[in-house]
Amino acid sequence: MGQHRRNYTDEYKAAAVERLYEPGATQGGVARELGITGTQLKTWRLEIEAFGSAEAKRRQQADAAELARLRKENKRLTEEVEILHKASAFFATRAVKP
């Protein structure tokens, strides 16, 4: 029998991590109550601490992808402008000659 990968909502992850801050709560205890591994809960906690929330992490990744796309487009456009400048200079010198 194969294991099924469960997907948890961001709200569920945030609520699970919040339980860690309750008095007397331990990572192992909260994980057992929720039916998840302690490692999984620790990963969620570290992600939330590092990015503020899963939504913030997604926004950061989307921003990074958009920045990479814009840099690539900027490079292409810069190259096109350079080609047009060279072509313009070439044809300008040919037009002057008799």
Host domain of residue 87:
10-96
Give the integer Cα–Cα distance in Å for 13 and 22: 15
The pLDDT confidence band at residue 98, using thresholds 50, 70 and 90, is low
Q: What is the pLDDT of residues 31-72, one digit of tens each?
A: 999 999 999 999 998 888 877 666 677 788 889 999 999 999
4 in any annotated domain:
no
The pLDDT confidence band at residue 96, using thresholds 50, 70 and 90, is low
pLDDT of the residue at 49: 81
List CB contacts of 17: < 8 A, sequence separation 6 or more.
41, 44, 45, 48
2 in any annotated domain:
no
1 in any annotated domain:
no
Length of the chain in residues, anyone? 98
41 in any annotated domain:
yes
**Structure token pair of residue 94:** 């040919």
78 in any annotated domain:
yes
**Structure token pair of residue 1:** 């029998």
The pLDDT confidence band at residue 75, using thresholds 50, 70 and 90, is very high
3 in any annotated domain:
no
5 in any annotated domain:
no
Supply the pTM of this predicted model.
Answer: 0.50
Q: What is the pLDDT of residues 85-94, one digit of tens each?
A: 999 988 888 7
Give the integer Cα–Cα distance in Å for 77 and 98: 34
67 in any annotated domain:
yes
Q: Considering its fold, how many domains does the chain have in total?
A: 1
